[in-house]
Amino acid sequence: MSSKIKAMTTPKNEEVTKQSQLIRTVEAALKVAIPDADEIAFRSSLLACATAKIPDLGPGFIVRLYEAACDVKFPTDHVGDFRKSLQLAIGKNLDLRRYRKTNPPTAQRGNQP
């Protein structure tokens, strides 16, 4: 029976659990509408930790963090920087660089030049 327990707690599962806890904690911290000074300091440290771990996170976790950062009504500079870091990760994941060189189609408007 102990071999079954060991099989369920692999290092990969433990890492995913830690990442999931980090994501949920960041999501919760970003939901605080009017943070006090202590909350801002905690949020700042938490976002720095999450930013450092972005390269290790899967695309689904990155999108969840980005959604949470975009939902902040009055973002501080730390939230804005965090959002930019997430945008870079999403851009790399989706290979958005190759789409920057294309021009979006323009709408035809009557006889204007």
DSSP 55: G
User: What SS3 class is residue 75?
Assistant: coil
User: How far is 111 from 14, CA to CA, in rounded Å?
Assistant: 63
What is the count of structural domains for the chain? 1
Spacing of C-alpha 75 from chain mean position? 14
- The string of pLDDT tens digits covering residues 45-64 is 999 999 999 999 999 999 99
CA angle (20, 23, 25) in 5-degree steps: 110
Asked whether residue 38 carries a pLDDT value surpassing 90, the answer given is yes
Note the pTM of the prediction, 2 decimals: 0.78
In a domain, 106, yes or no: no
With CA atoms as reference, report the closest residue to 63 among 93, 90, 98, 26.
Answer: 90
Domain housing 47: 37-97
pLDDT digits (tens, 9 = 90+) for 78-110: 999 999 999 999 999 999 988 887 676 676 665
Q: Is the dihedral of CA 95, 100, 102, 110 positive or negative?
A: positive
| Residue 78 forms part of a structural domain | yes
Residue 51, domain member (yes or no):
yes
